[in-house]
Amino acid sequence: MATTSRDTEAFPRLDEHEIDCVATLGELRQFADGEMLIEAGQKDFSFFLVKSGHVDILDLSSGLAKRVVTHSAGEFTGDVDMLTGRPAVISAVARGDVEVYEVTACRIRGLLGELPELSDKLLAAFQVRRKLLEASNFVGIRVVGASHSKETLAIREFFHKNKVLHTFQDIDEEDGQNALREWEAASEETPIIACSGHVVRQPSLEQVAECLGISRKIPDILHDLVIVGAGPAGLAAAVYGATEGLSTLVVDRMGPGGQAGQSSRIENYMGFPAGLPGAELANRGYLQALKFGARFTAPVSVRSLRSEREREIWLDLCTGQTVRTRAVLIATGVSYRRLPVENCQRLEGAGIYYSATAVEARHCRDQTAIVVGGGNSAGQAAMFLAQQAREVKILLRGGDLRKSMSHYLCRRIEMTSNIDVLCHTEVAALEGEDRLRDVRLQNNQTGEFKELGCSGLFIFIGAKPHTEWLPPSVALDAKEFVLTGPALKERGHWNADRPPCELETSHPGVFAAGDVRAGTTKRCAFAAGDGALAVTCVHQYLG
């Protein structure tokens, strides 16, 4: 394989000191020519450092063996799934006689948290390897369905958030029709996924997780902290909780990232002057938390929260399990509200979207896209869509783009030739059968109507907090955001002898952070800071 600077980062060679570190943790093993070290689909696969000989990394996802790279002495196997606990997506086989140091998955995770210099090199390589695989013709999980199907979109969003390598085959195109013939399936049976040798028709997200080998089984132990929600607030809390020695579990109904994970590019987050996609920021936080020992499980939602014993809170999950913990952090964030317009719900996933990633943007190529909303999420979506769409229309109920959008983003929008801001404009009607076709707009000052052909309407208005699962013991404000800290006493929601911690709710031991908390600034960096502060509050509570 030709070596480039990028390849060197993905496939570095360890020095003598680093090799000695690995050798002390591992077991020296020999493999004969053709023996398998790692098999695609294998869970908890080991890390191998080559002492002598060569190890081929093979991509078998297309049905044919394709060599990705060959590791020689001083090089090592592995990728990000050593941290996530998901099955291997590649295979490793000995080429000739090989001597390797084998370190089990459990021990390599410990190494990553204890040896920072070696950890940095391994983690950097693991992440670049995954990016190289994504950029190749790696097939991964096959998803076959209609691009305008709400169910298909949900599966693709789950894969996008959880960084699952997959190939989408649209039944309106030749490769999708070929897949249907291959499986003798009808279009009505889609979406269909092909995973680990299984073909599953119309799977639920729970079945998708099972197919991927993602375990949602949680050990029956008393956790120090359970975080509900894996957006920026939840991820930051997971990093700080794990680094400070708290046994930390994160549960999420979809996967890491939250609303920020759906953002095409975040440019005002400190430390990233060039900006980065929200999914990339979320993935880095996710891997960082895993590195320090936090545990994640998805797709899992919490049905109820209750206190059964002193200083012990029980969470009942959708899986039927009950998780016990000393403290809970509510970091469930918000979602955007539907427009109060006929056909809005019916056309969701078929031209109406609440995020703007590559999955949705492909439907707007050389077409008209409409963005409803005036916050940063709407602005970031418009900038991203402008790269694909012929034109982008931003609809504002009011007349000032700068009222709730950052100045830098307003300037970008004003300088982008194919973005047009329509002030005092609202959606009056939506038309389309199988998918969105036309949008009727109305000027709320003049009453004038205007028809626009539109392939994608992106809604970023009226954030609704995810608090419907909370018990009455957790006080909410009039808009259903969680009340915390001093505001509880002011409104008569606090009965304990001690004052509440800054982010503590009316239910002692239950905290809230990020967009779900009343009175917060709806920005990614603010949510991350809130998550870090929440861990300080948890420490104060636990004593």
Could you please report the per-residue DSSP string of 417-440?
A: TTEEEETTEEEEEEE-SSS--EEE
- In DSSP terms, 456 is beta-bridged to 369
What does the DSSP 8-state code read for residue 191? -
pLDDT for position 482: 97
Amino acid present at 35: E
Pairing of strands 463-465, 449-453: unpaired
Domain 352-459 in the same topology as domain 222-335+465-542: yes
The CATH architecture of the domain made up of 5-119 is: Sandwich (2.60)
Evaluate whether the domain defined by 222-335+465-542 bears CATH number 3.50.50.60.
Answer: yes
Fold of 141-212: Glutaredoxin (3.40.30)
Strand 47-59 with 91-103, pairing: antiparallel
62 close to 69: Cβ distance less than 8 angstroms: no
Which among 422, 435, 277, 280 has a CA at the least distance from the CA of 349? 435
DSSP 463-512: EEES-TTS-TTS-B-TTSPBP-THHHHHTT---SSSPPPTTB-SSTTEEE
Residue with tokens 């995810």: 466
Instruction: Give the Cβ contact number of residue 479 at 10 Å.
Output: 11
Q: What is the pLDDT of residue 521?
A: 83
Q: Which conformational region is residue 76 in: left (phi greater than 0), alpha (psi within -120 to 50 degrees), or beta?
A: beta
Residues 6+ apart with CB under 8 A from 320: none
> How far does CA 50 lie from the centroid of its chain?
33
Amino acid 82 reads M
Does residue 454 contact residue 369 with C-beta atoms inside 8 Å?
A: yes
Q: Across the 543 residues of the chain, what is the mean pLDDT of every consecutive 10-residue run?
A: 57 94 94 96 93 96 88 95 89 97 89 83 93 88 91 90 90 95 95 88 92 84 97 97 96 89 79 86 93 93 91 95 97 92 91 86 92 94 95 96 92 96 97 93 96 95 93 96 92 91 96 95 90 96 91
Euclidean distance between CA atoms 124 and 385, whole angstroms: 30
- Asked whether the beta carbons of 528 and 236 are under 8 A apart, the reply is yes
Q: Which long-range contacts (CB under 8 A, 24 or more apart) does 494-503 make?
A: 501/537, 501/540, 501/541, 502/533, 502/537, 503/530, 503/533, 503/534, 503/537
Alpha helices in 199-348 (DSSP H): 205-212, 232-243, 278-291
Of 87, 88, 66, 85, which is closest to residue 77 (Cα–Cα)? 88
Instruction: Supply the pLDDT for residue 357.
Output: 81
Q: Are 102 and 84 in contact (CB under 8 A)?
A: no
Measured CA to CA, the distance from residue 195 to residue 175 in angstroms comes to 17
Q: Does residue 524 contact residue 282 with C-beta atoms inside 8 Å?
A: no
- Position 62 scores a pLDDT of 81
* pLDDT score, position 3: 40
Cα–Cα distance for residue pair 296/512, rounded to 1 Å:
18
Q: What six digits make up the tokens of 52?
A: 């002598």
This prediction has a pTM of: 0.88
Residue 198 burial (10 A CB sphere; 0-12, 13-18, 19+): exposed
Q: Are strands 222-223 and 225-228 parallel, antiparallel or unpaired?
A: unpaired
Nearest to 437 by CA among 343, 314, 530: 343
Q: Residue 278 CA to chain centroid, in angstroms?
A: 9
Q: At what angle do helices 105-114 and 278-291 cross, to 10 degrees?
A: 100
The residues spanned by each domain of the chain are 5-119, 141-212, 222-335+465-542, 352-459
Closest alpha carbon to 237 in 438, 537, 543, 496: 537
One-letter amino acid at 536 equals T
Topology of domain 352-459 in CATH is FAD/NAD(P)-binding domain (3.50.50)
DSSP-H helix ranges across 103-215: 105-114, 116-135, 150-161, 174-182, 205-212
pLDDT value for 287: 92
